[in-house]
Chain A
Amino acid sequence: MSTFLAGLRSRRWLNVGVFLLGVLAMVVAVATPLYARSSAEHLLDQRTEQRPVTETGLSVETAPQSPPRLEVDPAQDGEGNPEKQMVPLTQEERDQMLSQATDLVTTDAANTYWLPPTTYLLGSGEYRTGANSYQINTYWRDGMCGQADVEGTCPSAPGEALIDPTMLETIGGQVGDEITVVHTGSGGNNNPVVDYPQTYTIVGTYTIDDNASPYWFNPGHTGGDGSLRPPSLGSSTPTQAPALLVDQSSVTFNAATIAGADRPVDLDALDIDTMDDAEVQLATWQTSISDQGPPIIQPDDVTTFETLFEEVRAEQDLLSRVTLAAVVPLIVLALLLLYVLVASASEVRRQEVALAKLRGFSAGKVVRFAVAEPAAVLLLTVPVGIALAVVGERVLTGVWLGPTPFVVTTQAVVSAAVVTATALVAAFVAVLGVVREPLAASLSAATRRRGTSTWSLLAQGALVMLSVAAVVQILTSDATQSSSFVELLAPLFVAIGASVVALLLIGMLARVWMRRTADRGGLSPFLASRRLVRRQDLMQLVLPLLLATAMAAFAASAWKVADDWRVSKAAATIGASTVYYTDTAPARLQWVTQQVDPEGRYLAAAVPPAPRTVDGGRVALVDASRFARVAAWDSQWGSSGSEVQGWLTPPGELDPIRFSGSHVRVELHDIGLHGELNLPLELWMRYVPDSNGDERLATLGSLPEKGSVTLDGFVSECDDGCSVQQLYLSGSSSSVSDASGRVTIASIAADGDEPGDWRLDDPDAWRPALPFGDSGVPPVSIDAGPGGLALQISGEPVVVRLTTADVPVAPPIVATETTVLDLVPGYTADTVAGASVNGVRTPMELAGRAEALPMVGNNGGLSDLTAALREYGDQATNIPITHLMVAAGTPPSVLDQVRKQGVSLTVSRSEAEELEELRSDAFSLGWRVFLLVGVLTLVLAFLGVLALAVVQLRWRSYEVAALRVVGVRRRDLRRAIITEYVALLGMAVVGGALAAVASLLLVLPSLDIGAIGEFDPAVDFSLRWAVVAGVVAVVMVVVLGIALWISRRTVKQGTPATLRQADAR
């Protein structure tokens, strides 16, 4: 044993090299499946968290068990027809309701995977102020004051309440004031519906960071708009005000109070291994409550984990494949280097093995003697590698993914076993060459170059064929993108194929080089080329270094491509640094942005494309005047934000007619109208007050069939000024009319300080506004002159719209390259069928194209919101969601001002959040592993080059000494070594870069780099030259560094004394 240990010690650097390689291979082999598992756990947690708590948690609600109870007010008892009032819920009844709800969510099935229940009491009523009424909840939730940011005191007595601070400010109240909530309930047979007001004393305000968090569970219980904006025009749903948080004893309305209990899913208990059981437990619990009749309120939607778990399993599967494909090249490389190193070590021990044979060791004993040392070192790598893998995985997971449970997976165990066995086999094969050598050859000082065996040629041919077959299979595959294991391994195949070809090429080139340098050229190149031809020791590094360079360049480029795409997707999906989703009308929102941010640096209003539209129908509307500064723009989309802003901006300045006052007076002459439906015509005006930006519609009056008339219509909120959007001529109640004939608008004037320049005599000032009727022909022709605006109406059933001509009839559209746009006949050659608000199709002038655009991704277009609202503003009342785009670096005060204008800014999404989520998907995590493995591959290759250089130092210094004896200068020798290294390894690096480029061009486009949605920007697969060049530069610098160091060391050691020592040996 002491002799064995002495041997280990004497070759410590070599053994350290083998040990490090073995450890690295083991770390990667074990850590990767562990990381894949942790990533899957992380994905499970993340995907679960991304679902609303209500979809993954358990909740039941129950109503009072007895019907609403009324009693006569004792004060009115006996006075004719006394009013009845609701009998308040007793504490006992409340406790009974809460207890029942709690019992239903605390069954055995529910206790495993869900957090302890939280109970609540919820009442619903109305808060009335002025003419407006708002829905409001009175809410008690167990422990609520500890979970909310409370200013004031927590309600602890009947009639005490906490209020949302914005609402308190809106209603102009303060702590100590009273607020009344009106409950509505049965009033008996004669009075079916009666109000039951209940007054609360405000004892403080509360703010909830996230009312969709696991504690608050159901955001609908607390959420509401504290600014109490009136409901939108045409909306039948009353606005929801934020809930009042009250003491349990205050929830007394027995007709509609609900008691509930909910349990968010317990992410600590739920993991990949327990998903199936959780699904079973969920079904069991649902079955247990399904037969519960009234007063249990059965949930409308059945909670299910099915789609969630399916998604997670799919991602887990993908992650496993990607990480495995990423790690295989590294393990292959580690084993290759291990083989090279052990083979070198065997060469060093050649004399010892010969000695063993000389001393009569049997064949088995010789093999055991030769293998014992590398095997011992490799076996030592197993515990160390596994320990480091676990630590590394925990650290990496902690940094990248956060806390995840540690699970020893079967894959990790199998992987460790496979790597251990393969490493031992590699070591065995490596020493076999020396062991099988005849004794006489082993004892000779010279090493004979072994010829290429048939098996080696066959193996090389098979590798090349395998590489070609894999690439051809990918190229001829019908699938556009895939993540099959073979395809993920294709870069490795390409690199191996390139390595074999490179080895053949290098051999040929070296011989040509030697012939050339023998005839002419310096001594150093000759020595370098001669050594390349005669000694093949460095050749062993070509394959690992080429492989490492190829894999690292491929991994880095692929990761960059994938990440660039994610950045692009995040920018396209969100559209700006941050976007708030609000129900504020587009015109109003745009007005708010212009008021709060007049310079257009921070805010812009936008309307997303209408749902279920594609191509020309899929157009997002943005405030073009501030697009470049506020909207997101990715350089991969081509052009630039400023250029697109230029394209989007309508030609000429939009110059609406402005006026002020409370009445608008219109003189109509030369009326000659006839029709069968909806006569008389009415004249309407759509306008926007300067004071609030809300679109208004005013009826100016009805037109007679003949003659003249002066109409006088009331306009609201125009004392400080209004701007005109459109004039309509319609049937009654703004319906279509088939009236035909003529009418002249002789004059229009408002009664305020600014009567308005209505441009009735300007032939270019007015035009028919879209949409036209079925014929597509304008239903009115306009002839302006000194007598006014003479209109000739065609009689097609339509609302006749007039707008000022500063709004182009075909506003500019910027579309993506892949958007299919239909030409619109009758317009210019660039006029295409686009879409305005709510997806209404309208002619647009194609101003430019880009690869992708914010809000629409790779399909659809952008157009100007202002022009769209002027043309189709009346359609905008149906838009459910409007976007407030917020630029990066917007001060919070700007957003505060927006809130003060009544815009609800509660739901938002930032580009960074989107990107973070995209970067945490299975694809991204997998490609991140690819990148990490690429870096490790390089490190491994550097270690291999360095280790082999150290191993070769001994006999290289002998060669150098021999050359120095015959008079070769040290400088020439150093140059020769550097030239040899740089020439050979440089070719390997270049070969690796070429293999990477081939993989990037041929293979990468067929690999999945992410979950690409229908409208996501296309992936830019163009070569990232900077990345490839960076990898090549790093490798070359390191190789050069090693070459410089080894040349100095070799020449320093290669003295004539070295020859004497060698002779002595």
Chain B
Amino acid sequence: MTTSAVAPGWTGEASAHAGISVRCQNVVHIYTTVAGHDVVALRGVNLDIAPGEQVALLGPSGSGKSTLLGLFGGLQRASAGQVIVDGVDVSRIPEAELTRLRAGKVASLLQGARRNLLTYATAAGNVSFARRAMPAAEVRRLPSPRQLLEMLGLGELTDTPVNAMSGGEQQRVALAVTVSSGAGLLLADEPTSQLGHTDRDTMVDLIQRVNAELGTTVVIVTHDPDIAARIPRRVTIRNGRIGSEGVHGRDYAVIDQDGAVHLPEDWIQDYPPGSLVEFEETEDGFFVRRVDHAPGNPR
């Protein structure tokens, strides 16, 4: 499957909600383990995502990127701070309102295609299922499941049960199902994991097409640098904090509210924890210099 899978006739009419903005202010999230211990997953995250923007969340396992995505989608509520989606703090709104948000504005694509689908149902059946929570009037404004799948180049899979599809097909159908409600924010967790190169590229193309055609804001969690390289904005999370951002091929460190700055990934091994640096202000900004030991310090 290639990028031509996106039908040229697919227009913004399929989207009920144009791109939605997301804003995080000092977001903290704490998990309680089975043993009863608290684990801090996010330690004061500040992030703004503009409507229609494409953002890739990167970071090592356990850094908190999937947690952040969950907070955007209202799957969990932040322990502290604000998660404002389309102007609404989703950590504070009632469950019913959150449910309505999930039914229309925000669409989550979970990791693993089958988790997003009724595996015994057909592709069309899954689309219908995904729209069941929407008001009938809104559904009527959307293309029919068959039309939608054809628009996404999945027409031949319309009546195929998910169980009978390949992994790549399942993932594309999962994306189609996820965006079928015309959401303004697509949250995709590792949408290309377990896919081959061709399927991976097709999937990214599809996501970008959705973004381009519908103006849907896209937030993708990924480990794959190749995928990240194709997303205009990359946000790296480390140890529960926004570590750096890459915009249009350039990487930037992000100063958090405490004034802390994460070193670029490549430098970390040269600056092990406890290393001393000193800042020197220059005309262009700061100059950071490594200090072997501070004056008066025997190290």
A binds B: yes
Contact of B76 with A359 in the complex, beta carbons under 8 Å:
no
Report chain B residues within 8 Å CB of A1063.
112, 194
Q: Does B202 contact A (CB under 8 A)?
A: no
Tell me the bound Cα distance from A621 to B189 in angstroms. 97
Contact of A362 with B99 in the complex, beta carbons under 8 Å:
yes
Contact of A355 with B120 in the complex, beta carbons under 8 Å:
no
Q: Does A479 contact B (CB under 8 A)?
A: no
Q: Does B129 contact A (CB under 8 A)?
A: yes
Tell me the bound Cα distance from A357 to B130 in angstroms. 10
Contact of A10 with B133 in the complex, beta carbons under 8 Å:
no
A1-42 to B contact mask, C-beta < 8 Å, 1/0: 011001101100000000000000000000000000000000
Summed over the interface, the residue pairs from A and B with CB atoms below 8 Å come to a total of 85
Contact of B125 with A6 in the complex, beta carbons under 8 Å:
yes
Interface of A is mostly: helix
Contact of B118 with A355 in the complex, beta carbons under 8 Å:
yes
Q: Does B136 contact A (CB under 8 A)?
A: no
Contact of B116 with A6 in the complex, beta carbons under 8 Å:
no
Contact of A358 with B121 in the complex, beta carbons under 8 Å:
no
Q: Does A360 contact B (CB under 8 A)?
A: yes
Determine which of B112, B130, B167 lies in contact with A359 in the assembled complex, contact meaning CB atoms within 8 Å. Answer: B130
Contact of B102 with A359 in the complex, beta carbons under 8 Å:
yes
Report chain B residues within 8 Å CB of A356.
129, 133
Report chain A residues within 8 Å CB of B194.
1063-1064
Tell me the bound Cα distance from A355 to B103 in angstroms. 11
Tell me the bound Cα distance from A360 to B34 in angstroms. 28
Tell me the bound Cα distance from A704 to B175 in angstroms. 136
Contact of B125 with A440 in the complex, beta carbons under 8 Å:
no
Q: Does B132 contact A (CB under 8 A)?
A: yes
Tell me the bound Cα distance from A352 to B118 in angstroms. 7
Report chain B residues within 8 Å CB of A351.
115
Chain A positions 348-377 with a Cβ under 8 Å from a chain B Cβ: 351-352, 355-363, 365
Supposing A355-B115, A1064-B114, A1064-B167 touch, asked if A362 and B125 sit within 8 A by C-beta, the answer is: no
Contact of A362 with B115 in the complex, beta carbons under 8 Å:
no
Chain B positions 17-76 with a Cβ under 8 Å from a chain A Cβ: 34, 70, 73, 75-76
Supposing A2-B125, A3-B121, A448-B34 touch, asked if A360 and B104 sit within 8 A by C-beta, the answer is: yes
Smallest CB-CB separation from A442: which chain B residue? B75
Report chain A residues within 8 Å CB of B119.
10
Determine which of B103, B104, B120 lies in contact with A6 in the assembled complex, contact meaning CB atoms within 8 Å. Answer: B120
Smallest CB-CB separation from B117: which chain A residue? A355
Report chain B residues within 8 Å CB of A9.
120
Contact of A1065 with B115 in the complex, beta carbons under 8 Å:
yes
Chain B positions 120-179 with a Cβ under 8 Å from a chain A Cβ: 120-122, 125-126, 128-130, 132-134, 161, 167
Tell me the bound Cα distance from A361 to B100 in angstroms. 8
Determine which of B95, B132, B167 lies in contact with A365 in the assembled complex, contact meaning CB atoms within 8 Å. Answer: B132
Chain B count of residues within 8 A CB distance of the other chain: 37
Chain B positions 69-127 with a Cβ under 8 Å from a chain A Cβ: 70, 73, 75-76, 95-96, 99-104, 108, 110, 112, 114-122, 125-126
Report chain A residues within 8 Å CB of B101.
360
Q: Does A379 contact B (CB under 8 A)?
A: no
Report chain B residues within 8 Å CB of A352.
118
Report chain A residues within 8 Å CB of B122.
2-3, 6
Contact of A362 with B133 in the complex, beta carbons under 8 Å:
yes
Report chain A residues within 8 Å CB of B192.
none
Chain A positions 445-472 with a Cβ under 8 Å from a chain B Cβ: 448
Distance (whole angstroms) from the CB of A365 to the closest CB of chain B = 6
Report chain A residues within 8 Å CB of B99.
357, 360-363
Report chain A residues within 8 Å CB of B129.
3, 355-356, 359
Q: Does B15 contact A (CB under 8 A)?
A: no
Q: Does B222 contact A (CB under 8 A)?
A: no
Supposing A355-B116, A1064-B114 touch, asked if A7 and B121 sit within 8 A by C-beta, the answer is: yes
Contact of A3 with B125 in the complex, beta carbons under 8 Å:
yes
Q: Does A443 contact B (CB under 8 A)?
A: yes
Tell me the bound Cα distance from A43 to B115 in angstroms. 62
A300-334 to B contact mask, C-beta < 8 Å, 1/0: 00000000000000000000000000000000000
Supposing A3-B118, A3-B125, A440-B76 touch, asked if A362 and B132 sit within 8 A by C-beta, the answer is: no
Distance (whole angstroms) from the CB of B53 to the closest CB of chain A = 23
Q: Does A539 contact B (CB under 8 A)?
A: no
Smallest CB-CB separation from B108: which chain A residue? A358
Report chain B residues within 8 Å CB of A443.
75, 110, 115
Q: Does A439 contact B (CB under 8 A)?
A: yes
Determine which of B70, B115, B125, B134 lies in contact with A360 in the assembled complex, contact meaning CB atoms within 8 Å. Answer: B134
Contact of A358 with B132 in the complex, beta carbons under 8 Å:
no
Supposing A365-B132, A440-B70 touch, asked if A360 and B112 sit within 8 A by C-beta, the answer is: no
Determine which of B117, B125, B126, B133 lies in contact with A361 in the assembled complex, contact meaning CB atoms within 8 Å. Answer: B133
Distance (whole angstroms) from the CB of A89 to the closest CB of chain B = 92
Tell me the bound Cα distance from A439 to B101 in angstroms. 14
A2-B121, A351-B115 given; 13 more Cβ-contact pairs under 8 Å = A3-B125, A6-B118, A6-B120, A6-B122, A7-B121, A10-B119, A359-B102, A361-B132, A363-B96, A363-B99, A1063-B112, A1064-B194, A1065-B114
